[in-house]
Structure formats: structure tokens, C-alpha cells
């Protein structure tokens, strides 16, 4: 009985410690917080050069919500940084298209379409400060009726998502789809 009580106490203490952890966002402050996993058997290799192209297509369910693709991108960067990968070893290019397209609009253009400021403006700025190059698919801008609208100042336009994705994969970038 004594051993059982000790085991239950030890389980409760370690579970509480794990659950009470505060999320950390070392590379993208304020977005995509992640937790340390001290017992992890596998962490990213900090000596590798990570070259990643992100295919961002997920849209928000409500126009006032943060885009899930951008949030996942922030988490991915924070997970690498928290695991000891230096920022200098991570090169990320993201291309936004499909349902994610509205995130690229300036606050003024976003208000015109959705009635509120772009809730993604800060995460886009923070991602670019972390070194992420963010492009929008020009085809998606036209197809979704945003051609001619002003873009967030940190967004660059490409002819298409397909050309970005194929080019960077041929350059050796690993592709992640969010």
C-alpha cells in the first residue's frame, strides 16, 4: 500500500509538472508556442541546414481569427529553435494560396472585404522578422477576387504557388503542407 501511494504521488507530481509548463516561442515571439519535452528520444539535429518550403492553404473559419497555416508555421519554427537548431540553420519559404489567400491583404483591403483589420498582420510581420520569405500565389489573388487590392507590406507575389513549390523542391527544400 505504501508503494502504491508513493507511485500515485510521484505520478501526480510529474504529471502536474508536465501539464503546468508554459509554452515557449523562441523564434516567433507571441505565436505558435510549444512545450519542451525533456524525455523526447528524438530532437532535430542542430547541425543540419534546414531548407523548408511551406504550402499554406488552410483558411480561417472566421475572418477575425488567426490563420491556422501561419500558426502552424510559427510552431514549426519554434519547435526547431526550442530543440537547439540555430536560426541561421533554418531557411523557410512559404507560399500562400487557396483558402489562405485573404491573409496577405493589408489592413485596409482586409477591412474592405471582411469588416475588420487583418488578424494575421502581426504574425506575418513576426514570421518575416524570423527570416521567413512569404509569397502569395498571383493566380489565387485573381481567382478569389483580390487582384488590385493592397498586400501586407511583408508579402511578395509570385506567378503561382505551383511554380514556387516545384522550384524550391528542385533546390532541395523539404515541403510541408499546412
Give the pLDDT of the chain (178 residues) as one tens digit per residue: 555 444 444 444 444 555 678 999 999 999 999 999 999 999 999 999 999 999 999 999 999 999 999 999 999 999 999 999 999 999 999 999 999 999 999 999 999 999 999 999 999 999 999 999 999 999 999 999 999 999 999 999 999 999 999 999 999 999 999 9
In this prediction the pTM is 0.87
Gyration radius of the chain over CA positions:
20
Amino acid at each position: 500500500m505504501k508503494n502504491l501511494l508513493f507511485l500515485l504521488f510521484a505520478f501526480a507530481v510529474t504529471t502536474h509538472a508536465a501539464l503546468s509548463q508554459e509554452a515557449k516561442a523562441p523564434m516567433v515571439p507571441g505565436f505558435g508556442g510549444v512545450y519542451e519535452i525533456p524525455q523526447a528520444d528524438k530532437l532535430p539535429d542542430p547541425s543540419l541546414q534546414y531548407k523548408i518550403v511551406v504550402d499554406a492553404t488552410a483558411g480561417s473559419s472566421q475572418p477575425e481569427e488567426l490563420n491556422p497555416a501561419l500558426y502552424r508555421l510559427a510552431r514549426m519554427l519554434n519547435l526547431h529553435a526550442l530543440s537547439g537548431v540555430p536560426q541561421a540553420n533554418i531557411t523557410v519559404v512559404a507560399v500562400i494560396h487557396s483558402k489562405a489567400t485573404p491573409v496577405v491583404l493589408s489592413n485596409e483591403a482586409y477591412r474592405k472585404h471582411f469588416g475588420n483589420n487583418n488578424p494575421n498582420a502581426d504574425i506575418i510581420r513576426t514570421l518575416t522578422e524570423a527570416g521567413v520569405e512569404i509569397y502569395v500565389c498571383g493566380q489565387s489573388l485573381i481567382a478569389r477576387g483580390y487582384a488590385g487590392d493592397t498586400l501586407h507590406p511583408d508579402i511578395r507575389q509570385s506567378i503561382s504557388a505551383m511554380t514556387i513549390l516545384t522550384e524550391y523542391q528542385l533546390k532541395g527544400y523539404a515541403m510541408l503542407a499546412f
